Structure 1
């Protein structure tokens, strides 16, 4: 039996649909392609029954997030999540980042998540530990994520049918009629719709709650997963490693009086920003504009500047100049003419 056949057999409830709710953030608006960033989180995973007569169980999850642009997969993340072995006691464990913060180019974001019970102390416990560590390695290569996901599928299939819940959803740009890329939460609950009203679900403090007898209380009595789509129009950290190194070299060369080398390095910093896959159009403009403004000040020797007074990191450079730019794409000719 295949992986998804196993999942569907395990969680099937005849003639009943499970509870699924999209809970948008307050004031949420769709993210415009090429004008912002997206990141996917697993906010909470919960098992109704933690103990049986023969074993103790802890919640674990296997997730897969694929992001496409121009019809091809640009990012593929496979994660295996579980409490740390030393944290199997009562506690609050929230907000597992499933992806990096990446520019949204207008393609599809496909999210798959499986909640399963993990029996502490058996051989599967060890296997999950290994997969958890591997899935956290900072490797962007798609084959690595695919291998982690494949291994996790095999693990879940062998986990004695303890799959509790699965979720699959695909987001796209506004205007297509489906789920849009917009900030908010997704909740899937192992309960029939007749037993739990979707309209009564709330998110409070990154945890799923429900309205009961006029009070908002944490949801209990059902297995569930709560995911979150984070959307931003401005990247909070604008440091780009290659560009940072080039700009630092420009400042050093300028302080040594080598204007030719300094000019070459600052142009290299602008080029690195233009080529960076970490930035959307608006932030690309902001960073290049900040480099240009600081470079002009260095050339003019304004206010008797010393090297110590010049920010070497681009994030600090943008904060200093706070350039007000549009979200339009910036061409190389425009970037180097500033």
Structure 2
């Protein structure tokens, strides 16, 4: 049985008419567009109404699985587990302090199609072996929330297996269960995936007023206004945040791009035409990446080309010139406006007659010709 099936069965068995609601926050509301935005799911906050009593006997855990399209492959299931033991807290520290913003997915390009989110707030009876096992499961799952997802997918099977063992082991109390599937757009009868916050609260629907809820500093508050609002208490709840982004700032550390960049500079020092051919291959590798959106692929390709030209020019003028890496691409690339890039390539992305390869070729030519820089 897959993790998605496990959550589906749990939902049927345990789900009640609890409160599910979007929550007002300062986050901008944005409907995701295929090929143009990144998506990341966070568990902003989890709360157990009897945490002081519970933490002495049990370990709180939010387990989740997100199913989404990644690259050209079938939908990927990205499992995760979040809980205070991820912070290496002992039993004397549990239930104290503030624990916020657990990443449940990496920053993943939104490819359209179906995106489903399942999560459960669980309380497991604490036993000698359980804490070590939970730490191990969390450590494995953490590999899916950093770096390139294309590389991290190698451990998905291990993560799913570990979490399946975790979910099936020990005595547990199910506090809350959540499942939702996003596809299409609201105005056409679908369910749009949007940025912002939503909460699942262990309160009886119809007897709880969600209109007074709001998010402050990644925490769930309730009140008539932001000034007088107080942290919500007295209910089990999970507060989730859906993040949208136009670009990611860690592409500089994608190993294949750096290796091609330095190879191009090395070739270009001897023969500019050979260097140009290598950097074009590097730009093409960018457009083949599953870890970037088309807006960001365009930005990164233009940034790599700009750095290649700038470095090569200076090195040819003074072959002994040494400039630290951090003075180059990081500032240069981020100066390339993603909003402007989005506007320039929007007509290409909207052309229904072009497949992914044709889109990549067309945009790459725009970068090479300097139409995007």
TM-score by length of 2: 0.75
| Offset at residue 275 of structure 1 (A) | 1.1
Show the counterpart of 2:302.
289
Show the counterpart of 1:327.
345
The equivalent position to 2:205 in structure 1, one of 176, 180, 193, is 193
Aligned residues: 332
Q: Deviations over 1:188-215 (max 9, x none)?
A: 0111124321112111110111127993
Q: Distance in 2 between matches of 1:222 and 1:211?
A: 15
Q: Deviations over 1:292-329 (max 9, x none)?
A: 44555567669946653596865444246668532344
Q: Distance in 2 between matches of 1:87 and 1:130?
A: 15
Quick check: 1:86 aligned with 2:86?
A: no
Matches within 5 A, 1:1-338: 3=6, 4-6=8-10, 8-12=12-16, 17-23=17-23, 25-26=25-26, 27-52=28-53, 55-68=56-69, 73-84=74-85, 85-88=88-91, 89=93, 90-138=96-144, 144-145=155-156, 148-149=159-160, 151-174=162-185, 175-211=187-223, 215-239=228-252, 240-254=254-268, 256-296=269-309, 304=317, 308=322, 314-319=329-334, 324-325=340-341, 326-328=344-346, 329-331=359-361, 332-338=364-370
Q: RMSD of the alignment, in Å?
A: 3.5
- Name which of structure 1's ranges 36-45 and 53-62 shifts more when overlaid on structure 2: 53-62
Structure with higher helix content: 2
Q: Which runs of 4+ in 1 moved over 6 A?
A: 298-303
- Name which of structure 1's ranges 286-295 and 104-113 shifts more when overlaid on structure 2: 286-295
CA contact (8 A) 2:61 2:123 kept: yes
Q: Distance in 2 between matches of 1:53 and 1:60?
A: 12
Q: Tell me, what secondary structure is at the counterpart of 2:322?
A: helix
Q: Distance in 2 between matches of 1:61 and 1:295?
A: 45
Q: Distance in 1 between matches of 2:15 and 2:134?
A: 21
Question: Structure 1 residues 71, 241: closer, same or farther in 2, change over 3 A?
Answer: closer
CA contact (8 A) 1:24 1:182 kept: no
Q: Deviations over 1:201-260 (max 9, x none)?
A: 111110111127993111111111111110112333332321122112223444x44435
Q: Distance in 2 between matches of 1:321 and 1:333?
A: 17
Q: Tell me, what secondary structure is at the counterpart of 2:69?
A: strand
Q: Distance in 2 between matches of 1:334 and 1:305?
A: 31
Question: Structure 1 residues 186, 243: closer, same or farther in 2, change over 3 A?
Answer: same
CA contact (8 A) 1:116 1:164 kept: yes
Q: Tell me, what secondary structure is at the counterpart of 1:116?
A: strand
Structure with higher strand content: 1
Q: Tell me, what secondary structure is at the counterpart of 1:318?
A: helix
CA contact (8 A) 1:251 1:310 kept: no
| Offset at residue 183 of structure 1 (A) | 0.9
CA contact (8 A) 2:70 2:290 kept: no
Segments of structure 1 that go 5 or more residues without pairing to the other structure are none
| Offset at residue 105 of structure 1 (A) | 1.4
TM-score by length of 1: 0.82
Q: Deviations over 1:50-71 (max 9, x none)?
A: 3559952332111101112699
Question: Structure 1 residues 50, 321: closer, same or farther in 2, change over 3 A?
Answer: closer
Segments of structure 2 that go 5 or more residues without pairing to the other structure are 347-358
Q: Distance in 1 between matches of 2:97 and 2:114?
A: 35
